[in-house]
Amino acid sequence: MVNSMATRVNEIDVLDVDILYEYGLDSAPMLAIRAPFATSGDGAGLVGSVIVTLSGQRQIMAVARRTSAPIAKGEPIGVQARPIEKTTVDAR
């Protein structure tokens, strides 16, 4: 499902990503995903985007990595994402 295209809905990017698993980092709930496109090492291009999970839509708040190298398309990365209400963004 990795897709380099993002759908724009209400001026928010809705990304089609592969979600690998959930985990916790310093008590923060995290998701391991495959990066949908290449971006800077800090993941600034992903922050603020919305992903669709089995439990609903979540907005990416931060990217957690142990390196500062650029992120390659398809690379497994950790993201902290907060749940958002379905009425906020309608992914199609």
Which domains can be identified in the chain, with CATH numbers? 6-83 (2.40.30)
Tokens 């592969």, located at residue: 18
In tens digits, the chain (92 residues) has pLDDT values of 333 344 444 556 788 899 999 988 777 889 999 999 999 999 999 999 999 888 889 999 999 888 889 999 999 999 999 998 755 454 44
Helix (H, G, I), strand (E, B) or coil at 40: coil
pTM above 0.85, yes or no: no
Please give the structure tokens belonging to residue 43: 């993941």
Model pLDDT, residue 87: 55
